[in-house]
Structure 1
């Protein structure tokens, strides 16, 4: 079973993998977004429940291709 923290980590890894390929105005965006997703994942793990913003989860699911 995939947890919310897993989803956030997966999206962060994906963003870091594609960061070198992003050019133009969006160049440099992937790393800060990945860091934010990792921070949200850490917060979820630290609090032992699914305490995260719905925005972080929406971004992670869009990156992971699992958006509803």
Structure 2
């Protein structure tokens, strides 16, 4: 089983990889969303069991191709 933090980091990496290919109105969205996912991963690993916001995990799972 993959940890929530690992799922968040994987999604952030995937977003950064496709960011240059995103055009149009969403062209600047990937980097800030990836940064948000990084912050949530950090929070999940530094505060004990760390509450992961369900929204961040849902976004990460959608990016990673897994249903929330």
Q: TM-score range by the shorter chain?
A: over 0.9
For residue 3 of structure 1, what is the aligned residue in structure 2?
Answer: 3
Q: What is the aligned-residue RMSD (CA, Å)?
A: 0.9
Which runs of structure 2 are paired with 1:28-67 in the superposition (5 Å)? 28-67=28-67
Structure 2, unmatched stretches of 5+, are none
**1:2-46 deviation digits (Å, cap 9, x = unpaired):** 100000000000000000000000001000000000000000001
The aligned residue for residue 12 of structure 1 is: 12
The 1-side partners of 2:2 and 2:50 are apart by 12
Q: How many residues are matched? A: 68
SS at match of 1:61: helix
In 2: Cα distance, 1:6 partner to 1:50 partner: 13
